[in-house]
Structure 1
């Protein structure tokens, strides 16, 4: 596997997890 592809995958999943956590925190603060 290419190193660039690996880095891209890690960055993509990191972005998704960051968005998920941000949404959960926002919802919990909104209540």
Structure 2
């Protein structure tokens, strides 16, 4: 279970970074 929890946390961090980059790209597009 601990391993699955770590993978889940890593996936959440990755998605957060992915969302952040998408937001930055959208800001650049609007500029």
- Sort the TM-score into its range (normalised by shorter chain): 0.7 to 0.9
TM-score (norm 1): 0.78
Runs (4 or more) in structure 1 with deviation over 4 Å come to: none
Residue in 1 aligned with 2:24?
Answer: 20
Residue deviations 1:10-29 (CA, integer Å, cap 9, x gap): 000000000000000111xx
What RMSD, in angstroms, separates the aligned Cα atoms of the two structures? 1.2
Unpaired segments of 5 or more residues in structure 1?
Answer: none
Q: TM-score, normalised by structure 2?
A: 0.78
Number of aligned residue pairs: give it.
27
